[in-house]
Amino acid sequence: MGKSCDHRRIGCEQELYFFHPLSPGSAFWYPKGAHIYNKLVKFIRNEYRRRGFNEVITPNIYNCKLWQISGHWEHYSDKIFKCCFC
């Protein structure tokens, strides 16, 4: 299997999503991919309710270089939550 079945490569080739080096773990969704993503979210939420689960949402984590390039770091760095892997 290996690279021929890599979902990261396949999704990009099918124009479903792409990744950016400043946020390598976060997909940026194209319209076709967003449609599929939203269908899956709807299905999963319905399953949560059907099975009695509660949904939780956690924050996204981005590389600080993203905020430095956008200019947000200069203005909001004291308010940005910083991760510490101690």
Question: Which position has the token pair 């984590």?
Answer: 61
Q: State the pTM of this model.
A: 0.62
* Model confidence pLDDT, tens digit, residues 18-67: 988 877 778 899 999 999 999 999 999 999 999 999 999 887 777 788 88
* Model confidence pLDDT, tens digit, residues 59-84: 777 778 888 888 888 888 887 766 66
Average pLDDT of the chain is 86
Q: Where would I find the beta strands (DSSP E) of 1-86?
A: 17-20, 23-29
| Dihedral in degrees, nearest 10, Cα atoms 61, 64, 66, 69 | 160
Return the DSSP state at 33.
H
In angstroms, the CA 37 to CA 70 distance is 27
